[in-house]
Amino acid sequence: MSKELLREVAFRRFKEKLFAHTLEPGQFLSQRELSEMLDVPLAPMREAVQRLASAGLVRIIAQRGVQILEPSPQMLNEAFELRIILECAAIKTIPLSSISEQLRENEELVLRLQSILVEPLGFERIKEVLSVDWMLHKQLIQAMGNETIESVYNINADKIRLARLRQHFRAEQLYQALDEHMKVIKALLDQDKDTAAAYMELHLKNALTRGLGISNLYRGNNLHEFPAKSHPST
């Protein structure tokens, strides 16, 4: 395999291990350990690690090797603020007719999942809900047709996914999250962009606190307020 290809393989395998819980947030590894674990020679592994560091998924620490990112509350706050800005901009700019079919499919998936969400929640069911959750968000960003923004969004999303690995969800919380999606979807289908953006902002603020044990960081800390938008009355 060429060196270029090995580097890509290393990058991909690393993310697979990460999102399959084989690598743990906060964990330290030497580059040699990583190279053995991912079955990739050391030189392309070292280069892949630089990419992972650029994407914010690892930190390279002199003499110690590589530390898997352990997202701090501050980092999650920042990542969600970026999400809110990009997703609300997406809602405001995309032609809604171009995604109405995707929205209707999404609506059906949400309804189906909501009808079967009961405790105890298996890992597979949680994964299914989270993947339907991401789908709406990624569809909106993709519909912007801006690869630069899509790449920024996806790197940011990986960090959030990493934090989610440690989240514990109850069926009620996932039901709520899907309910919030329904509100966004319905507003988009009604061509009401302002309401959709306001519901999206609310949903993302809730998502930050839901299940993460982060109890509303926006109050009483020294971070500025999120974009002030009117809350839709429900």
Q: How far is the CB of 221 from a copy of itself (least distance, A)?
A: 11
Nearer CB in complex with a copy of itself: 92/127: 92
Nearer CB in complex with a copy of itself: 40/49: 49
Nearer CB in complex with a copy of itself: 56/121: 56
- Whether the Cβ atoms of residue 45 and residue 10 lie closer than 8 Å to each other: yes
Q: How far is the CB of 89 from a copy of itself (least distance, A)?
A: 4
Neighbouring C-alpha atoms within 13 Å toward the C-beta of 81: 14
Q: How far is the CB of 62 from a copy of itself (least distance, A)?
A: 5
Q: How far is the CB of 175 from a copy of itself (least distance, A)?
A: 30
Nearer CB in complex with a copy of itself: 7/164: 7
- Measured distance CA(213)–CA(139) in Å, rounded: 28
Distances (CA, A) of 229 to 56, 117, 122, 195, 200: 30, 31, 37, 10, 11
Nearer CB in complex with a copy of itself: 86/129: 86
User: What letter would DSSP give residue 22?
Assistant: S
Q: How far is the CB of 27 from a copy of itself (least distance, A)?
A: 20
Contacts with a copy of itself by CB under 8 A lie at: 2, 4, 7, 43, 46-51, 53-56, 60, 62, 75, 78-79, 81-82, 85-86, 89, 92-95, 144-149, 152, 156, 222-228
Q: Which of 168, 164, 170 is nearest to 119 (CA)?
A: 170
Distances (CA, A) of 33 to 7, 12, 25, 153, 188: 16, 16, 16, 30, 48
Distance of CA 172 to the CA centre of its chain: 20
